[in-house]
Structure 1
Amino acid sequence: MEQRNRKNFAAKVAIALTLTFTAAVPATLALPAGQAHAYSVSKANNVIKMGNRFLGVRYQFGAPSGVTNRFDCSSLTQYLFKKQGVYLPRTSSQQSKKGKYVPISQLKKGDLIFFKASKTSGSRVTHVAIYAGNGKMLHTYGKPGVTYSYFNSYWKGRYVTSKRFL
Protein backbone atom coordinates (compact mmCIF):
# COMPACT_ATOMS: atom_id res chain seq x y z
CA MET A 1 0.00 0.00 0.00
CA GLU A 2 2.81 2.41 0.90
CA GLN A 3 4.57 1.75 -2.43
CA ARG A 4 1.39 2.58 -4.38
CA ASN A 5 1.02 5.85 -2.43
CA ARG A 6 4.64 6.74 -3.32
CA LYS A 7 3.91 6.08 -7.02
CA ASN A 8 0.76 8.23 -6.89
CA PHE A 9 2.67 10.99 -5.10
CA ALA A 10 5.50 10.85 -7.68
CA ALA A 11 3.01 11.01 -10.55
CA LYS A 12 1.25 14.03 -9.00
CA VAL A 13 4.58 15.81 -8.49
CA ALA A 14 5.59 15.11 -12.12
CA ILE A 15 2.29 16.51 -13.42
CA ALA A 16 2.54 19.59 -11.18
CA LEU A 17 6.11 20.28 -12.34
CA THR A 18 5.13 19.85 -15.98
CA LEU A 19 2.19 22.23 -15.64
CA THR A 20 4.29 24.78 -13.76
CA PHE A 21 7.11 24.68 -16.30
CA THR A 22 4.77 24.82 -19.32
CA ALA A 23 2.88 27.79 -17.90
CA ALA A 24 6.15 29.66 -17.27
CA VAL A 25 7.44 29.25 -20.83
CA PRO A 26 6.04 31.60 -23.51
CA ALA A 27 4.04 29.80 -26.19
CA THR A 28 6.59 30.74 -28.86
CA LEU A 29 9.27 28.84 -26.94
CA ALA A 30 7.10 25.88 -25.91
CA LEU A 31 6.69 24.61 -29.49
CA PRO A 32 9.54 22.91 -31.36
CA ALA A 33 11.13 24.96 -34.13
CA GLY A 34 9.11 24.91 -37.35
CA GLN A 35 5.89 23.71 -35.72
CA ALA A 36 2.88 25.92 -36.48
CA HIS A 37 0.82 27.52 -33.73
CA ALA A 38 -2.88 26.80 -33.44
CA TYR A 39 -5.08 28.71 -35.90
CA SER A 40 -6.09 32.12 -34.52
CA VAL A 41 -9.59 33.30 -35.47
CA SER A 42 -8.99 36.70 -33.90
CA LYS A 43 -5.78 37.28 -35.88
CA ALA A 44 -7.52 36.19 -39.09
CA ASN A 45 -10.41 38.57 -38.42
CA ASN A 46 -7.94 41.38 -37.68
CA VAL A 47 -6.10 40.77 -40.97
CA ILE A 48 -9.35 41.03 -42.95
CA LYS A 49 -10.62 44.02 -40.94
CA MET A 50 -7.35 45.90 -41.47
CA GLY A 51 -7.32 44.91 -45.15
CA ASN A 52 -10.76 46.49 -45.55
CA ARG A 53 -9.24 49.86 -44.66
CA PHE A 54 -7.10 49.63 -47.80
CA LEU A 55 -9.86 48.76 -50.29
CA GLY A 56 -9.24 50.74 -53.48
CA VAL A 57 -5.59 51.55 -52.68
CA ARG A 58 -3.76 51.39 -55.99
CA TYR A 59 -1.70 48.46 -57.22
CA GLN A 60 1.95 48.95 -58.07
CA PHE A 61 4.17 46.02 -59.04
CA GLY A 62 7.16 45.93 -56.70
CA ALA A 63 5.64 48.37 -54.20
CA PRO A 64 8.07 48.70 -51.28
CA SER A 65 7.44 46.93 -47.98
CA GLY A 66 5.72 49.02 -45.34
CA VAL A 67 4.26 51.58 -47.77
CA THR A 68 0.46 51.90 -47.51
CA ASN A 69 -0.42 54.26 -50.36
CA ARG A 70 0.22 51.49 -52.91
CA PHE A 71 0.66 47.72 -52.72
CA ASP A 72 1.48 44.74 -54.84
CA CYS A 73 -0.06 41.43 -53.82
CA SER A 74 2.78 40.25 -51.60
CA SER A 75 3.52 43.63 -49.98
CA LEU A 76 -0.16 43.72 -48.97
CA THR A 77 -0.04 40.27 -47.33
CA GLN A 78 3.34 41.04 -45.77
CA TYR A 79 2.05 44.32 -44.29
CA LEU A 80 -1.23 42.93 -42.93
CA PHE A 81 0.36 39.83 -41.41
CA LYS A 82 3.22 41.82 -39.86
CA LYS A 83 0.62 43.86 -37.96
CA GLN A 84 -0.46 40.54 -36.38
CA GLY A 85 3.11 39.56 -35.48
CA VAL A 86 3.57 37.18 -38.43
CA TYR A 87 6.60 37.97 -40.58
CA LEU A 88 6.31 36.88 -44.20
CA PRO A 89 8.99 36.96 -46.89
CA ARG A 90 8.67 39.74 -49.48
CA THR A 91 7.50 37.94 -52.65
CA SER A 92 4.51 35.67 -53.31
CA SER A 93 6.88 32.93 -54.49
CA GLN A 94 8.89 33.11 -51.25
CA GLN A 95 5.71 33.26 -49.15
CA SER A 96 4.35 30.13 -50.87
CA LYS A 97 7.34 28.13 -49.60
CA LYS A 98 6.51 28.88 -45.94
CA GLY A 99 3.53 28.14 -43.71
CA LYS A 100 1.49 24.97 -43.34
CA TYR A 101 -0.19 23.49 -46.43
CA VAL A 102 -4.00 23.61 -46.34
CA PRO A 103 -6.21 21.95 -48.97
CA ILE A 104 -8.79 24.16 -50.67
CA SER A 105 -11.59 22.26 -48.92
CA GLN A 106 -10.18 23.28 -45.52
CA LEU A 107 -9.47 26.97 -46.16
CA LYS A 108 -10.16 29.27 -43.23
CA LYS A 109 -10.33 33.03 -43.07
CA GLY A 110 -6.79 34.43 -43.16
CA ASP A 111 -5.19 31.57 -45.12
CA LEU A 112 -3.06 32.60 -48.08
CA ILE A 113 -3.90 31.32 -51.57
CA PHE A 114 -1.18 31.26 -54.22
CA PHE A 115 -1.61 31.46 -57.98
CA LYS A 116 0.36 31.25 -61.23
CA ALA A 117 0.28 33.79 -64.05
CA SER A 118 -1.78 31.69 -66.47
CA LYS A 119 -3.32 28.25 -66.85
CA THR A 120 -0.40 27.12 -68.99
CA SER A 121 2.55 28.75 -67.19
CA GLY A 122 3.55 25.77 -65.05
CA SER A 123 3.30 26.05 -61.28
CA ARG A 124 5.52 29.10 -60.66
CA VAL A 125 3.75 31.28 -58.07
CA THR A 126 3.23 34.90 -59.17
CA HIS A 127 0.24 36.06 -57.08
CA VAL A 128 -1.08 35.76 -53.52
CA ALA A 129 -4.46 36.51 -51.93
CA ILE A 130 -5.95 36.24 -48.44
CA TYR A 131 -8.94 33.94 -48.04
CA ALA A 132 -11.73 36.05 -46.54
CA GLY A 133 -14.39 33.36 -46.10
CA ASN A 134 -17.53 32.56 -48.10
CA GLY A 135 -15.55 31.89 -51.29
CA LYS A 136 -14.06 35.39 -51.35
CA MET A 137 -10.45 36.53 -51.23
CA LEU A 138 -8.81 39.87 -50.49
CA HIS A 139 -5.92 40.85 -52.76
CA THR A 140 -4.60 43.50 -55.10
CA TYR A 141 -3.86 43.56 -58.81
CA GLY A 142 -4.19 45.91 -61.77
CA LYS A 143 -6.89 48.54 -62.07
CA PRO A 144 -9.11 47.71 -59.09
CA GLY A 145 -6.22 47.91 -56.59
CA VAL A 146 -7.01 46.28 -53.24
CA THR A 147 -10.27 44.44 -53.78
CA TYR A 148 -12.31 41.31 -53.15
CA SER A 149 -12.71 38.59 -55.76
CA TYR A 150 -14.45 35.24 -55.74
CA PHE A 151 -12.06 32.31 -55.67
CA ASN A 152 -14.28 30.21 -57.96
CA SER A 153 -14.01 32.74 -60.76
CA TYR A 154 -10.99 33.48 -62.95
CA TRP A 155 -8.60 32.57 -60.14
CA LYS A 156 -9.52 28.92 -59.54
CA GLY A 157 -7.88 27.84 -62.82
CA ARG A 158 -4.64 29.48 -61.70
CA TYR A 159 -4.51 27.98 -58.19
CA VAL A 160 -1.15 26.50 -57.13
CA THR A 161 -1.30 26.03 -53.32
CA SER A 162 -2.64 27.47 -50.09
CA LYS A 163 -0.94 27.93 -46.72
CA ARG A 164 -1.84 28.76 -43.13
CA PHE A 165 0.27 31.21 -41.13
CA LEU A 166 -2.16 32.28 -38.39
Structure 2
Amino acid sequence: MNLSMGFVRPNRGNSTRPMTKAAVTLSSLAVFAALALVSAGPAAAEERVYQASSVAGEAVEHAKEQIGKPYRWGAEGPGSFDCSGLVQYSYKKAGKRLSRTTYTQFREGRSVSRSNLRPGDLVFFYSGPSHVGMYVGNGRMIHAPSSGKRVQIVEMAGYYNRQFVGARRVA
Protein backbone atom coordinates (compact mmCIF):
# COMPACT_ATOMS: atom_id res chain seq x y z
CA MET A 1 0.00 0.00 0.00
CA ASN A 2 1.48 3.35 -1.03
CA LEU A 3 0.91 6.15 1.55
CA SER A 4 3.12 8.75 -0.06
CA MET A 5 0.31 10.97 -1.49
CA GLY A 6 3.00 12.71 -3.56
CA PHE A 7 4.41 14.75 -0.64
CA VAL A 8 8.16 14.60 -0.22
CA ARG A 9 10.43 15.87 2.49
CA PRO A 10 14.16 16.27 2.40
CA ASN A 11 16.23 13.53 3.93
CA ARG A 12 19.86 13.77 4.94
CA GLY A 13 21.97 14.43 1.92
CA ASN A 14 20.37 15.22 -1.41
CA SER A 15 17.84 12.40 -1.50
CA THR A 16 14.14 12.72 -0.71
CA ARG A 17 11.61 10.27 0.61
CA PRO A 18 7.80 10.37 0.65
CA MET A 19 5.86 11.58 3.72
CA THR A 20 3.18 9.32 5.16
CA LYS A 21 -0.41 10.46 5.82
CA ALA A 22 0.37 10.49 9.54
CA ALA A 23 3.40 12.74 9.03
CA VAL A 24 1.38 15.12 6.85
CA THR A 25 -1.43 15.22 9.42
CA LEU A 26 0.96 15.88 12.31
CA SER A 27 2.79 18.56 10.36
CA SER A 28 -0.49 20.26 9.48
CA LEU A 29 -1.65 20.20 13.11
CA ALA A 30 1.62 21.72 14.27
CA VAL A 31 1.33 24.53 11.71
CA PHE A 32 -2.30 25.27 12.66
CA ALA A 33 -1.44 25.30 16.39
CA ALA A 34 1.46 27.67 15.80
CA LEU A 35 -0.73 29.98 13.69
CA ALA A 36 -3.42 30.02 16.39
CA LEU A 37 -0.89 31.03 19.04
CA VAL A 38 0.66 33.72 16.89
CA SER A 39 -2.68 35.18 15.83
CA ALA A 40 -3.91 35.27 19.46
CA GLY A 41 -1.12 37.74 20.26
CA PRO A 42 -0.09 39.22 23.58
CA ALA A 43 -3.64 40.16 24.60
CA ALA A 44 -4.53 36.48 24.93
CA ALA A 45 -1.51 35.88 27.14
CA GLU A 46 -2.48 38.84 29.35
CA GLU A 47 -6.04 37.53 29.56
CA ARG A 48 -4.80 34.11 30.68
CA VAL A 49 -2.78 35.74 33.47
CA TYR A 50 -5.77 37.86 34.48
CA GLN A 51 -8.05 34.80 34.60
CA ALA A 52 -5.48 32.88 36.64
CA SER A 53 -5.79 35.53 39.36
CA SER A 54 -9.21 37.11 38.92
CA VAL A 55 -9.30 38.28 42.57
CA ALA A 56 -6.07 40.25 42.03
CA GLY A 57 -7.41 41.67 38.76
CA GLU A 58 -10.64 42.73 40.45
CA ALA A 59 -8.69 44.33 43.29
CA VAL A 60 -6.69 46.37 40.76
CA GLU A 61 -9.92 47.55 39.10
CA HIS A 62 -11.43 48.52 42.48
CA ALA A 63 -8.25 50.42 43.36
CA LYS A 64 -8.35 52.27 40.02
CA GLU A 65 -11.91 53.39 40.80
CA GLN A 66 -10.44 55.29 43.78
CA ILE A 67 -8.03 57.43 41.71
CA GLY A 68 -8.31 61.06 42.72
CA LYS A 69 -9.65 60.42 46.23
CA PRO A 70 -7.69 62.17 48.98
CA TYR A 71 -5.11 60.61 51.28
CA ARG A 72 -6.02 60.72 54.95
CA TRP A 73 -3.99 58.90 57.63
CA GLY A 74 -5.98 55.99 59.07
CA ALA A 75 -8.71 56.19 56.41
CA GLU A 76 -10.19 52.97 55.04
CA GLY A 77 -12.47 54.44 52.37
CA PRO A 78 -14.67 54.92 50.58
CA GLY A 79 -14.20 58.72 50.61
CA SER A 80 -10.49 58.81 51.49
CA PHE A 81 -7.66 56.36 52.09
CA ASP A 82 -4.27 55.83 53.58
CA CYS A 83 -1.95 53.43 51.73
CA SER A 84 -2.86 50.20 53.52
CA GLY A 85 -6.52 51.21 53.71
CA LEU A 86 -6.64 51.48 49.90
CA VAL A 87 -5.11 48.01 49.52
CA GLN A 88 -7.39 46.46 52.14
CA TYR A 89 -10.51 48.14 50.70
CA SER A 90 -9.72 47.09 47.11
CA TYR A 91 -9.12 43.46 48.03
CA LYS A 92 -12.20 43.37 50.28
CA LYS A 93 -14.34 44.56 47.33
CA ALA A 94 -12.78 41.71 45.30
CA GLY A 95 -13.73 39.18 47.99
CA LYS A 96 -10.41 38.76 49.82
CA ARG A 97 -9.76 39.84 53.39
CA LEU A 98 -6.43 41.46 54.22
CA SER A 99 -5.13 42.85 57.48
CA ARG A 100 -5.26 46.60 58.05
CA THR A 101 -1.69 47.89 58.34
CA THR A 102 1.28 48.00 55.99
CA TYR A 103 3.35 46.13 58.56
CA THR A 104 0.88 43.21 58.83
CA GLN A 105 0.14 43.14 55.07
CA PHE A 106 3.88 42.61 54.53
CA ARG A 107 3.47 39.22 56.22
CA GLU A 108 0.52 38.02 54.13
CA GLY A 109 0.68 35.87 51.01
CA ARG A 110 4.04 34.86 49.62
CA SER A 111 7.14 36.79 48.71
CA VAL A 112 7.59 37.72 45.04
CA SER A 113 10.71 39.06 43.35
CA ARG A 114 10.43 42.40 41.62
CA SER A 115 11.10 40.74 38.27
CA ASN A 116 8.06 38.46 38.75
CA LEU A 117 5.48 41.07 39.74
CA ARG A 118 1.93 40.65 38.47
CA PRO A 119 -1.01 43.04 38.66
CA GLY A 120 -2.48 42.89 42.15
CA ASP A 121 0.79 42.12 43.94
CA LEU A 122 1.45 44.31 46.96
CA VAL A 123 4.62 46.40 46.74
CA PHE A 124 6.30 47.75 49.86
CA PHE A 125 8.60 50.68 50.51
CA TYR A 126 10.81 52.12 53.24
CA SER A 127 12.19 50.20 56.19
CA GLY A 128 9.57 48.60 58.36
CA PRO A 129 7.99 48.64 55.75
CA SER A 130 5.94 51.80 56.15
CA HIS A 131 4.27 52.23 52.74
CA VAL A 132 2.34 49.88 50.46
CA GLY A 133 0.98 50.14 46.95
CA MET A 134 -0.56 47.72 44.47
CA TYR A 135 1.28 46.76 41.28
CA VAL A 136 -0.86 47.45 38.18
CA GLY A 137 1.56 46.29 35.46
CA ASN A 138 4.14 47.88 33.16
CA GLY A 139 6.35 49.01 36.04
CA ARG A 140 3.58 51.05 37.68
CA MET A 141 1.68 50.96 40.96
CA ILE A 142 -1.42 52.56 42.41
CA HIS A 143 -1.18 54.00 45.90
CA ALA A 144 -2.40 56.60 48.36
CA PRO A 145 0.86 58.55 48.72
CA SER A 146 0.77 61.02 51.63
CA SER A 147 -1.05 63.96 53.19
CA GLY A 148 -2.14 66.56 50.67
CA LYS A 149 -2.00 64.09 47.78
CA ARG A 150 -4.56 61.84 46.11
CA VAL A 151 -4.76 58.18 45.07
CA GLN A 152 -2.73 57.89 41.89
CA ILE A 153 -0.82 55.59 39.56
CA VAL A 154 2.94 56.21 39.43
CA GLU A 155 6.02 54.65 37.89
CA MET A 156 8.00 52.39 40.22
CA ALA A 157 11.24 53.96 39.04
CA GLY A 158 13.66 56.50 40.45
CA TYR A 159 12.61 57.34 43.98
CA TYR A 160 10.34 54.31 44.47
CA ASN A 161 12.92 52.02 42.92
CA ARG A 162 15.44 53.11 45.57
CA GLN A 163 12.93 52.74 48.43
CA PHE A 164 11.53 49.32 47.36
CA VAL A 165 11.84 46.66 50.10
CA GLY A 166 9.73 43.77 48.82
CA ALA A 167 6.52 42.43 47.31
CA ARG A 168 3.87 39.92 48.29
CA ARG A 169 1.36 37.96 46.23
CA VAL A 170 -1.86 37.68 48.20
CA ALA A 171 -4.18 36.32 45.49
AA partner of residue 128 (structure 2): R
Among all aligned residue pairs of Structure 1 and Structure 2, give the percentage whose two residues are the same amino acid: 35
* Secondary structure of 2:130's aligned partner: strand
User: In the alignment, residue 64 of structure 2 is paired with which amino acid?
Assistant: N
Name the larger-Rg structure: 2
Aligned residue among 136, 143, 146 for 2:151: 146
Q: Which moved more, 1:128-137 or 1:49-58?
A: 49-58
Question: CA–CA distance in 2 between the matches of 1:131 and 1:58?
Answer: 19
What secondary structure, in the 3-state scheme, does the structure 2 residue paired with 1:44 have?
Answer: helix
Partner of 1:57: 69
Query: SS at the partner of 1:54?
Result: coil
In the TM superposition, what is the alpha-carbon distance from 1:124 to its structure 2 partner? 1.1
- Residue in structure 2 matched with residue 164 of structure 1 by the alignment: 169
Where does the alignment leave 5 or more consecutive residues of structure 2 unmatched? Answer: 1-50
TM-score, length basis structure 1: 0.68
Q: How does 1:90-109 map to 2 (within 5 A)?
A: 90-109=100-119
The normalised TM-score by structure 2 is 0.66
Amino acid at match of 1:51: A
For 1:89, the equivalent position in structure 2 comes to: 99
Partner of 2:135: 131
- Equivalences, count: 120
Matched residue of 1:108: which SS?
coil
1:28-67 alignment to 2 at 5 Å? 40-63=52-75, 65=76, 67=77
Distance in 1 of aligned mates of 2:170 and 2:60? 14
Q: 1:84 deviation in Å?
A: 1.8
CA deviation after TM superposition for structure 1 residue 43, in Å: 2.0
Question: Which one has more relative contact order, counting CA pairs under 8 Å at least 6 apart?
Answer: 1
Cα drift, residue 42 of structure 1: 2.1
Question: Which structure 1 residue ranges, 5 or more long, are not aligned?
Answer: 1-38, 117-122
Deviation, 1:85, is: 2.0
The aligned counterpart of 1:28 is none
In structure 1, give the amino acid aligned to 2:131: H
Alpha-carbon shift at residue 113 of structure 1 (Å): 0.4
CA displacement at 1:49 relative to structure 2: 1.5
- Cα distance in 1 between the residues matched to 2:69 and 2:124: 21
Report deviation, 1:45. Answer: 2.1
Amino acid at match of 1:145: R
Aligned match of 1:72: 82
